[in-house]
Each structure stands twice: as C-alpha cells, then as structure tokens.
Amino acid sequence: MDPFTDPLAPPEPAGPEYVLHLYITGATPNSTRAVRNIKDICEQYLKGRYELLIMDVFQQPALAQREDLIGVPTLIKRSPGLVRRLVGDLSDRERVLKALGINPSAGEGVRYE
Amino acid sequence: MQENHPAAAHALPQLPKAPTGIDGLDEITEGGLPLGRPTLICGSAGCGKTLMGIEFLVRGILDFNEPGVLMAFEETAQELAANVASLGFDLKDLQERKMLRLDHVHVDRSEIEETGEYDLEGLFIRLGHAIDSIGAKRVVLDTIEALFSGFPNQGVLRSEIRRLFHWLKDKGVTTIITAERGDGTLTRQGLEEYVSDCVILLDNRVIDQITTRRLRVVKYRGSTHGTNEYPYLITENGISVLPVTSLRLDHAVSSHIVSTGIPALDEMFGLRGYYEGSSVLITGTAGTAKTTLAAGFAEKICQDGGRCILFAFEESPAQLLRNMASIKINLQEHVTSGQLLIEASRPTLNGLEQHLVTLHRLVREFKPTAVVIDPITNLISVGNKNEVRSMLTRLIDFLKVNGITALFTALVNGHGFQQEMTDEGVSSLVDTWISVRDLEGVGERNRGLSILKSRGMAHSNQVREFVVTPHGIELLDVVLGPSGIVTGASRLTQQMQEHAEMLAAQQEADRRDREVERRRRMLEANIANLRTEFESAEEELRQISSNEQSRQQTLLSGHQRIAAANPPAPSAPSAPTAESGQ
C-alpha cells in the first residue's frame, strides 16, 4: 500500500481498482462538501486503490453534455463493475459506500489485502 | 405627446414577440410567442407537442435566422431527426450548419443514486453552453417533466425548475417547454405555476370517430390573443393552425364581373354575372342540376383563361367528366390544359379540418381564380353543424381574402330549406344565392331557378324554368299562363295554344285580305263592264251623229245641185235658199 500514497499520482500500469470521476461546479457549498466527502471516503476505505478525478464543469462546460450531467455534484464510478452515478454532496455515507460496493462493516478496506 | 395620441393609437408599444412561423399560430397569438420568455405547451399524448417545439426551432432557423437549441428528455437526437425528416426538416444539416443544437438528456432513475444535497446546475451548464456556442435565440425543452421520474427529491426539482425558467428569461431566449397534460390540471407536475407568460393547450378529441386536434391559448400575459379553440392539423408540411376567420373583414373587393357560364343566367343579373371574388351558393333539392350549373361555371372560367379547382365530394373525376360531356360541358380539355383541377374525395375520408387544409394547400399551389365545391352539404356528414359552420366561415373567408370566386352547391331538403341554410349561417356569408328547385305540377317535375339574393347588383325576381339539353343548360323564356308562370307541359300547352291562336288570327287576317281583293276585283270588273257599255253607247251615238251628218251633207249637196239647175229669180234669190236650209 505504500507505493500509492498519493491518490492523484499517475496510475500503475495495471490501473487502480477504483476509478472515480467527480464533477463539481466551482466552489459551491455542495461541491466543496462533495470533494471533502469523497476524499474522506477514499482515504478511509480505498487508500491506495483508487483514482479520483475531480472536474469543474464550469471550466469545461462541454463535459456536461458529454457525461450527460443533470444534477451536480455527480460522482461517476467507472470501475469496478457497472458504471454508477451518485448525485449529491455524498454526505449520505451509507448510500455512497453501498453504491460504490464498499463494505463498511469490514472497517478499513485494507483488510482485503 | 398628448396630440400624438390618436395617430399612435394602434402603434402602442406591443409586447415584443417571436414569430413562430407555424402556419396560423402567429395569427392567433397576434405575432408569435413572447420574445425572450418561456411558453408552456401542454397536451396529452399524441398532440404534437414535440413537433410544435421542433417546428418552432426549424422555422426560426430557416425563416428568421435564429439559431435554436433543443433539449430533449424523452427522445434521442437520432430519433427526433428521423421523426421529423418526413416533414422535410433536416436536423442533421442544421446541426452541421451550427444553427441547431440537439442535446438529449437521459434520465434514468435506476442509474441515479441520491447521496445528499445537489442542484441541477449540470442542466444549466449544458443548456448555457449549447446556447452560447451557437448564439441561440430559441430553446425548446421537450418534456422537462421527465426529470421528475429521475429525481425523487421534488423540493429540489421544483425550485431548480423555477430557477431554470428565470435563468432562461434572463438569458433572453424564447423558450418552449412542453409538458404532459395532467388529470384536471394543465400539466402533470403543475409546471404552469412556473411559466406564467404564455400557456398553450393542445387537445386531441375524438367525436363521432373523427379526430380533431385543437389548440387554445390559455393565457398570454401582456398581450391580447385569440381565445377560441382552434383546430390544427399535422400535415406533411408541419403544423397548421386554422384561425376561424381572419378576425377582420377588410379584404379588398373587385368590381370585375365573371360570367355564370349560362348566358341566360347572366341576363338575370344586373351586371351580367357574379362579382369576381364573391361567393356564390347554389341550393337545391336532389336532382335539380346543381352540379351541372357548377360545372358550367367551371367551364366558363377556364374558357375565359382562368384557373379553377373543382372539389367533388360526390362523383369521381372520370364520372363527372363523362356526365358533363353528355351535355356539352367539356371539362376534359381544360383538365388536359391544366386549367382545371378536379379534386375528388369522400367527405368522410378526413375530418373537416383536413379538408380545409387540403383546400388551403391546393389553393396555394394551384392559384385558381375560382373554386367550386360540390356540394358543401356533404361535409355535414363529417362534423356537426357548429363545426361545419365554422369551417365554412373560414373557407369562405380564406377564398375572399385571396380574391377567389367561390361557388358552392348545397343540397337541401324539400321543405323549409331556406330556414335550414340560414341555420347553418351560410346564407349570411355568401354574396349571391341562387335557388334551384322542382316545380311540381300536372304530373311532372320541372326545374325552376331564381336568385334569392345578389349583393351589390340588381337581379331578376323571376323564377325561370331551365332545362338541361344535350347542348348545355338553357333558361327558357318566361311563359305566363292564366295563373302565373307555367312550366313544362303546361308551358308547352300554353305555347301551343298561343300558337294556334296566332294561326287563327293570321288566317282571319288572310281571309279578310282575300275578301277585299275579291271585292276590289268585282268592282273593277263592274267598272270595266260599265266602261264597255258606255263605250258601245258612245260608239253608237257617234255612229248616229255621223250618219246624221252625212245625211245632212247629202241633203245639202242635193239642194245645191237643185239650186244650180233652177237658178232663182234675182228678186228673191235668197228666200228659197233660206227656206231650203230650214
């Protein structure tokens, strides 16, 4: 787990287990909360196994159509498994974990290793 | 400013409007949708909401050069493009020309997980980006209510939709929002609360198995508008709304006269025909040769170099041509020359509105100078009285505005038909009304024709009998019998009687002439006799006198001879001479 301390570091050749894209709109309260929440979750459960991309739709408005965004913030889980869309500031942690396929009772995701 | 007021009365500041370019809608809304504001179009399934939205955009691009954005929540761009391709709208081309942007918003509940607070800024950004990238002036949100199925949080949704409409208003784009009709409300989700500028309701009704689509402007803030329900159609050229009338009666008129096609009928009108651009109604019971009169008119129009459309609701073109040819009304040559168009269809084939639209389309394409509809009464089988009346009003109005002479035939029942036609309100719409009817009596039916009214010109008040001959229609001279005008066999009898009387009178006159002649000759013979008598008497007398003369001559010469032989005494030579002379 040590080699992947930086979540935004270039991915390993094999690629990280979790690919998460978070689309936010500038520094709105919802967006800031969402960024904080996803970072928390990643650090807590997925440390070292994820790639998180945070994109500001204000900066790249074309993204909104391409990614079919409606509600913002939206977190798109591209892998593993099916693509899931999570709309909201990700404060409902239980639902977020469920949607991401993380078992919270297992405590630290590290246990899988 | 005060003194300017009267002059500027109808130049009052109008609410700025964005013309839709949709046939008829701009007339009802008096110029279009409110410029830079949202308009709600609601209606049940199959009303053509999406189509109206797309047509608004496409017409905006093609006619007014205003780029548009279509945000579709239900159909994908490909589906939409395919759906409207049949109307001649090439969405792909418009997209390539950067005049149109299509954005399909896919909403799927199963894919969306709510994890906390959010807003719909994504939608705003998408829309904003689309608008800015092509400088759009028009936006259509096709069934934004689809969002309600994807996002369970109604509170957020409602406030965001409200914000969206405000935002669109701020952007100054003219927006159409379509929404599904709700149960007892205009829209299922009560969107009418948010869009308060203009609401148009579309409706799809089936009455007597015939579907009619109707449109109504429920509200239009800051503007007057037509308040009725207006039928509309989805035609191959898009939506066509039919305003009942062109609200004003201000069409131009012509004082030019067109012939009725029958010289004797022309005579019955003070100006020898109908006014050009007027509407003529021929009513009559069954079999009174209404169609023939109509065909005669059509032929005349074509002969005079005009163009005519004949709508036949009873006969096929071939049948009509054959039948008319049998009475020397030759329509075939005009059909061949392209001056006459016969459009035959069953009235029940379409709803009234469809007929009206067909007519509008043909009139626009063919540009006729006259239109004949035979008969309008068949349309009643399609709609109820009110609808027929409104359709006819619109029809007559349309033709008048275009300066097209219109001739309608109408079948009426035997009794009280004038009342009936008045009920349908047609009589007040037409300018000239000719009535043909059966004149039944003495065991036969004859056709009588009279002019009930003819606006703006003197006309005959007589009921004229007319006959359909192998040479066409002929109006007969009025024959007056002892009890008024007589027709048919009575007329023939009357004519025969008159003829006989005339003959008798002639004979009498001849006889008198002969009598005079005879007398004259008799007299002349008498005179000749007398003259001869006189001459012979004269001759005799002359003979006598000449005899006498010669006798005396002889006597005298005898005396002289005697005297010469016995010369008298010189004392009295003369006395014996004188004695002998006595």
Alpha-carbon dihedral angle through residues B150, B154, B156, B158, given to the nearest 10 degrees: 100
Residue B524 has, within 13 A of its CA and on its CB side, a CA count of 6
Closest CA relative to residue A47, chosen from A77, A9, A2: A2
Which strand (E) or helix (H) includes residue B199? strand B198-207
Q: Return the higher-pLDDT residue of B527 and B443.
A: B527
State residue B382's pLDDT score.
63
Residue A8 belongs to some domain of the structure: no
Q: Tell me the fold of B257-476.
A: Rossmann fold (3.40.50)
Asked if B151 lies within 8 A of A74 by C-beta distance, the reply is no
CA distance B466 to B480: 15
On chain B, the residues whose CB falls within 8 A of the CB of A34 are 116
Which strand (E) or helix (H) includes residue B515? helix B488-565
B230 pairs with which residues across the strands? B215
pLDDT tier at B4 (50, 70, 90 boundaries)? Answer: very low
Residue A26 belongs to some domain of the structure: yes
Average pLDDT over residues B125-149: 90
A57 within 8 A of A69, measured Cβ to Cβ:
yes
- Report CA-CA distances (Å) from B474 to B289, B367, B441, B461: 12, 31, 21, 18
Average pLDDT over residues B511-540: 93
Asked if A96 lies within 8 A of B118 by C-beta distance, the reply is no
- B329 has a pLDDT exceeding 60: yes
B192 within 8 A of B186, measured Cβ to Cβ:
yes
Q: In sequence order, what are the residues at sequence separation of 6 or more whose Cβ sits closer than 8 angstroms to the Cβ of residue B466?
A: B262, B264, B289, B436, B447, B448, B449, B473, B474, B475, B476
Domain regions of chain B by residue span: 14-109+122-241, 257-476, 479-514
CA distance B239 to A62: 33
Residue A6 belongs to some domain of the structure: no
Residue A108 belongs to some domain of the structure: no
Asked if A61 lies within 8 A of B126 by C-beta distance, the reply is yes
pLDDT tier at B578 (50, 70, 90 boundaries)? Answer: very low
Total Cβ atoms within 10 A of residue A41: 22
| B interface test, pick of A70, A84, A85 with most B CB neighbours within 10 Å | A70
Domain count, chain A: 1
**φ, ψ (nearest 5 deg) of residue B33:** -90, 155
pLDDT tier at B519 (50, 70, 90 boundaries)? Answer: very high
- Report CA-CA distances (Å) from B417 to B272, B392, B413, B536: 27, 18, 6, 92
Q: Name the amino acid, one letter, at B450.
A: S
CA distance B403 to B253: 7
On chain A, the residues whose CB falls within 8 A of the CB of B121 are 25, 28, 57, 72
A73 preceded by a cis bond (ω within 30 of 0): yes
- B2 has a pLDDT exceeding 50: no
State residue A111's pLDDT score.
42
On chain B, the residues whose CB falls within 8 A of the CB of A90 are 115-116
Q: In sequence order, what are the residues at sequence separation of 6 or more whose Cβ sits closer than 8 angstroms to the Cβ of residue B470?
A: B326, B327, B328
B73 within 8 A of B129, measured Cβ to Cβ:
no
Which tokens sit at B95?
């997209």
State residue B248's pLDDT score.
57
Total Cβ atoms within 10 A of residue A4: 16
Residue A58 belongs to some domain of the structure: yes
Asked if A85 lies within 8 A of B125 by C-beta distance, the reply is no
B465 within 8 A of B475, measured Cβ to Cβ:
yes
Per CB distance under 8 Å, which residues of B are interface residues toward A? 103, 105-107, 111-123, 125-126, 128-130, 147, 150-151
Residue A13 has, within 13 A of its CA and on its CB side, a CA count of 0
Closest CA relative to residue A89, chosen from B119, B120, B117, B114: B117
Per CB distance under 8 Å, which residues of A are interface residues toward B? 23, 25, 28, 30, 33-34, 37, 57-58, 61-62, 64-65, 68-75, 83-92, 95-96, 99
State residue B545's pLDDT score.
92
Query: Does the fold of domain B257-476 match that of domain B14-109+122-241?
Result: yes
State residue B551's pLDDT score.
92
Average pLDDT over residues B314-318: 88
The pLDDT tens digits for A36-50 are: 999 998 888 888 888
Smallest Cβ distance to A65: which of B107, B126, B151? B126
Q: Return the higher-pLDDT residue of B328 and B235.
A: B328
Tokens 């004082």 locate to: B255
B312 pairs with which residues across the strands? B344, B374
Which strand (E) or helix (H) includes residue B320? helix B317-325
CA distance B281 to B320: 20
CA distance A99 to B238: 46
Asked if B115 lies within 8 A of A89 by C-beta distance, the reply is yes
The nearest CA of chain B is from the CA of A63 a distance in Å of 8
CA distance B238 to B97: 22
3-state secondary structure at position B391: helix
CA distance B259 to B262: 7
Asked if A85 lies within 8 A of B111 by C-beta distance, the reply is yes
State residue B132's pLDDT score.
92
On chain A, the residues whose CB falls within 8 A of the CB of B112 are 71, 85, 87
| Domain residue limits at A96 | 18-77+86-103
Q: Give the whole-number percent of chain B exceeding pLDDT 90.
A: 27
CA distance B497 to A111: 129
Smallest Cβ distance to B118: which of A30, A37, A84? A30
- B427 has a pLDDT exceeding 50: yes
Smallest Cβ distance to A87: which of B114, B125, B128? B114
State residue B238's pLDDT score.
82
Residue A46 belongs to some domain of the structure: yes
pLDDT tier at B9 (50, 70, 90 boundaries)? Answer: very low
CA distance B57 to B75: 16
On chain B, the residues whose CB falls within 8 A of the CB of A30 are 116-119
State residue A1's pLDDT score.
45
Residue B38 has, within 13 A of its CA and on its CB side, a CA count of 27
On chain A, the residues whose CB falls within 8 A of the CB of B116 are 30, 33-34, 37, 88-92
Smallest Cβ distance to A90: which of B115, B120, B126? B115
Average pLDDT over residues B464-477: 82
Total Cβ atoms within 10 A of residue B24: 21
B423 within 8 A of B445, measured Cβ to Cβ:
no
State residue B420's pLDDT score.
52
The pLDDT tens digits for B331-346 are: 899 999 999 999 888 7
- Report CA-CA distances (Å) from B578 to B548, B550, B564: 20, 20, 15
Residue A94 belongs to some domain of the structure: yes
- B581 has a pLDDT exceeding 50: no
State residue A9's pLDDT score.
52
- B6 has a pLDDT exceeding 70: no
Asked if B117 lies within 8 A of A88 by C-beta distance, the reply is yes
Q: Return the higher-pLDDT residue of B1 and B554.
A: B554
Average pLDDT over residues B94-104: 91
State residue B176's pLDDT score.
93
Domain B14-109+122-241, classified CATH 3.90.600.10, yes or no: no
Alpha-carbon dihedral angle through residues B79, B82, B87, B92, given to the nearest 10 degrees: 100
pLDDT tier at B1 (50, 70, 90 boundaries)? Answer: very low
On chain B, the residues whose CB falls within 8 A of the CB of A55 are none
Residue A25 belongs to some domain of the structure: yes
pLDDT tier at B582 (50, 70, 90 boundaries)? Answer: very low
DSSP 8-state code for residue B209: T
Which tokens sit at B477?
């001279």
State residue B438's pLDDT score.
81
State residue A104's pLDDT score.
72
DSSP 8-state code for residue B476: P
Average pLDDT over residues B148-152: 84
B284 pairs with which residues across the strands? B411, B436
Asked if A64 lies within 8 A of B129 by C-beta distance, the reply is yes
CA B204 to chain centre: 31
Q: What is the CATH number of the domain that holds A25?
A: 3.40.30.10
B16 preceded by a cis bond (ω within 30 of 0): no
Which tokens sit at B274?
């109908």
Asked if A61 lies within 8 A of B125 by C-beta distance, the reply is yes
Per mean pLDDT, which of B362-366, B446-450, B514-518 is the most reliable? B514-518
- B439 has a pLDDT exceeding 80: no
State residue B474's pLDDT score.
83
The pLDDT tens digits for B43-82 are: 888 888 888 999 999 999 999 999 999 999 888 888 888 8
Which tokens sit at A20?
């998460």
Q: Name the amino acid, one letter, at B66.
A: E
- Report CA-CA distances (Å) from A78 to A1, A85, B140, B281: 22, 9, 32, 75
**φ, ψ (nearest 5 deg) of residue B393:** -55, -45
Nearest CA in chain B to A84: B111
Q: How many CB pairs under 8 A join A and B?
A: 100
pLDDT tier at B518 (50, 70, 90 boundaries)? Answer: very high
B284 within 8 A of B439, measured Cβ to Cβ:
no
B223 within 8 A of B14, measured Cβ to Cβ:
yes
Residue ranges, chain A, pLDDT below 50? 1-2, 11, 108-113
Burial class for A89, CB neighbours closer than 10 Å (0-12, 13-18, 19+): buried
